[in-house]
Amino acid sequence: MVQPAVVASGWPDDPVPLALDTAPLPAYGSGSLADLLPTLVAGQGVPGFEARIAELAPADRNCVFLIDGLGWEQIKAHPDEAPYLTSLLAGSRGGTGRPITAGFPATTATSLASVGTGRFPGEHGLPGYTARNPATGELMNQLRWKPWTSPRVWQPYPTVFELAHRAGIHTAQVSSPIFQDTPLTKIALSGGSFHGRLSGEERMDFAAEQLAGGDRSLVYTYYSELDGAGHRFGVDSDAWRGQLMFVDRLVQRLAEQLPSRSALYVTADHGMVDIPFDEQSRIDFDEDWELRAGVALLGGEGRARHVYAVPGAEADVLTCWREVLGEQFWVASREEAVALGWFGRPGDGIDERVHGRIGDVVAAAHDDVIITASVNEPHESAMVGVHGSMTPAEQLVPLLEVRS
């Protein structure tokens, strides 16, 4: 059991909970994943959009290659395994290389919705790996879409791809066939045509063909296996490094096939950190009576938890989680997290339909630690590499550009 933090009394050795204003906020509106597609299609003349990422020059043909789990810091730490990507970090091939922020939480379902809709998590309404459905009281897994709920009720906004397609842009997604009919694809990435290709090489070749298929084109392609290796073996493993080497070759393969007047943008949905398997680093909610007290549901994931309190226990749960975890996690009430700008720009608020999906308490990891749930989340609790919070290793993702 984790021992509760001592409430600060003024003595020099007393532990002090993390101040909420020290959390490094996503750069919503100027440098986040949600800002990428609106910037690209604004440059293509699609009505209703504006360029949010100032340094990106317009191109007639834009391709976004999203590599699941490829954080900015992970590329920087592995120059030998990723020589081509490393060359793009400094913009040495005629483009730009810089980090942008994923958004909170830094997790696949949230980030893909941010990319595809051009909206922040507090707008599109996928605020985590799992979140409470206020209509049913159940936890909704927003990656696997269980239990089933209507996709367009859950996320009603049109995607940027749909709006670009309506405006006459040749729009296509090239990904694994298994993603073609998933609810997450429908609410985040639909619009234009979907093309399933099994191998990474096939995806790169066909993405280049689709990019050349229109005078103005918007193409999205995706690779997920790097993330899988990180979760299973960690980002310090030979398996992960092998996947990174393969990804590096895929990016170069696509870049070398770009048609004229094109820009390729390589990005990711989140980074990743490895967490040791010890009691200090892995806090088991299912075995900790203090953390469970007053909690009706535990959502989110290990490094970005949504905590849903029993009605009337919200203040007590917040106090307890701060006392127990406040030195290792930024622990905020829902209202604090929204006001500070965790789910969108400070002061913008969130959509009313999203309010009850966010936890009464939200806990984001600062240290190398996770909150597991060994009984209810055995698969997730066994992962080596994890993500979700606002630390640079998780939050910073690449925005690497190659132009033809």
CATH number at 59 reads 3.40.720.10
Q: Can you read off the two tokens belonging to residue 334?
A: 């829902």
Residue 3 lies in a domain: no
Kindly provide the residue ranges of all beta strands, DSSP E only, lying in 295-380, ordered along the sequence.
295-301, 304-309, 329-333, 361-365, 370-372
Given pLDDT bands bounded at 50, 70 and 90, which one contains residue 40? Answer: very high
Residue 74 has phi, psi (to 5 degrees) of: -70, -35
CATH number at 311 reads 3.30.1360.180
Give the residue among 227, 1, 194, 217 at the shortest CA–CA distance from 106: 227
Residue 6 lies in a domain: no
Residue 104 lies in a domain: yes
Kindly provide the residue ranges of all beta strands, DSSP E only, lying in 345-403, ordered along the sequence.
361-365, 370-372, 385-386, 396-403
Number of domains in the chain: 2
Using one digit for the tens of pLDDT, what is the confidence trace for 112-166?
999 999 999 999 999 999 999 999 999 999 999 999 999 999 999 999 999 999 9
Give the residue among 299, 401, 404 at the shortest CA–CA distance from 56: 401
Q: How much is the average pLDDT of 204-227? A: 98
Q: Can you read off the two tokens belonging to residue 182?
A: 């998933």
Say yes or no: 129 and 209 in one domain.
yes
Residue 61 lies in a domain: yes
Given pLDDT bands bounded at 50, 70 and 90, which one contains residue 15? Answer: low
pTM of the predicted structure, to 2 decimals: 0.94
Using one digit for the tens of pLDDT, what is the confidence trace for 360-391?
999 999 999 999 999 999 999 999 999 999 99
Q: Which domain holds residue 306?
A: 20-24+275-385
